[in-house]
């Protein structure tokens, strides 16, 4: 028998997701990492550090995606929108876990500022959800557009030999493109260029900081 979740139930679930996202514990990917079964590239120290910086940026992006979807799901009005976002959020968990594993393989760590980015993204997501479903879905589409641009740029920057990172980013790009398309198809509004530009500027700040810290 299924029962409706009360607000308290939902808040407990949300708190659990926050902890799992920020502490790197208890998250399991639904799909194996695309890197699985592929050999480690021959990376010298400089290239290893560069790839770790890129993967840290991508990992932070996935932390933000978790927060964004969670914030939106909390305030989304239509249950269908909430379900759709939770489905995409499950794929984002895969991305989060794959990036985290790759960071570890590169002897590196996630960004120390992830809790701050999480809070900001959660607030933006909840605000978009509270305004309305069209805005909320439009926000997903515009965000995914930015994420895809980053991923394409990172794929260009990856050393030729680093097949493990490349395969992860390629699968993520495929998923994010689909998330964006689905959000628009579900009725998301196209954001005007000034809003998209502001989002690009904010994501640039986030990526530049996360590369180092």
CB 17 within 8 A of CB 85: no
Contact letters (x/-) for Fe ion, 18-37, by CB under 5 A? --------------------
Contact letters (x/-) for Fe ion, 44-63, by CB under 5 A? ------------------x-
- Give CA–CA dist 11/20, Å, rounded: 14
State the burial class of residue 180 (Cβ atoms within 10 Å of its Cβ: 0-12, 13-18, 19+): buried
128 Cβ neighbours under 8 A, 6+ residues apart: 71, 72, 135, 136, 138, 139
- Give CA–CA dist 53/197, Å, rounded: 24
Looking at the Cβ atoms of 65 and 158, the one nearer to Fe ion is 65
Chain centre distance of CA 170: 14
- Give CA–CA dist 212/122, Å, rounded: 23
Q: Scan residues 173-202 and list those touching Fe ion (CB under 5 A).
A: 176, 179
Which position among 21, 56, 58, 92 is part of the footprint of Fe ion (CB under 5 A)? 92
Q: How far is the CB of 10 from Fe ion (least distance, A)?
A: 22
State the burial class of residue 34 (Cβ atoms within 10 Å of its Cβ: 0-12, 13-18, 19+): buried
> With binding defined as CB under 5 A, does residue 150 bind Fe ion?
no
- Give CA–CA dist 52/111, Å, rounded: 11
Looking at the Cβ atoms of 48 and 211, the one nearer to Fe ion is 211
Interacting span for Fe ion (CB under 5 A) from 103-111, 159-167, 170-178, 187-195: 170-178
Looking at the Cβ atoms of 58 and 126, the one nearer to Fe ion is 58
Looking at the Cβ atoms of 53 and 61, the one nearer to Fe ion is 61
Which position among 95, 146, 150, 154 is part of the footprint of Fe ion (CB under 5 A)? 95
- Give CA–CA dist 69/29, Å, rounded: 17
User: Which residues in this chain contact Fe ion in the complex, by CB under 5 A?
Assistant: 62, 65, 92, 95, 176, 179
């Amino acid at each position: 028998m299924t029962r409706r979740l009360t607000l308290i139930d939902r808040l407990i679930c949300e708190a659990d997701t926050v902890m799992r996202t920020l502490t790197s514990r208890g998250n399991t990917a639904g799909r194996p990492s695309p890197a699985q079964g592929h050999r480690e590239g021959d990376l010298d120290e400089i290239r290893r550090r560069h790839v770790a910086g890129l993967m840290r940026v991508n990992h932070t992006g996935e932390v933000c995606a978790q927060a964004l979807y969670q914030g939106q799901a909390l305030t989304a009005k239509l249950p269908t929108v909430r379900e759709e976002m939770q489905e995409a959020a499950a794929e984002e968990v895969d991305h989060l876990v794959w990036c985290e594993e790759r960071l570890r393989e590169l002897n590196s760590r996630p960004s120390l500022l992830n809790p701050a980015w999480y809070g900001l993204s959660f607030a933006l997501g909840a605000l978009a959800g509270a305004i309305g479903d069209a805005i909320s879905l439009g926000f997903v589409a515009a965000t995914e557009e930015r994420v895809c641009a980053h991923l394409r740029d990172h794929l260009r920057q990856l050393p030729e030999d680093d097949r493990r990172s490349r395969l992860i980013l390629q699968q993520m790009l495929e998923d994010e493109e689909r998330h964006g398309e689905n959000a628009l198809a579900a009725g998301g509004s196209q954001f005007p260029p000034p809003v998209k530009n502001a989002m690009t500027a904010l994501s640039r700040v986030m990526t530049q900081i996360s590369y180092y810290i």
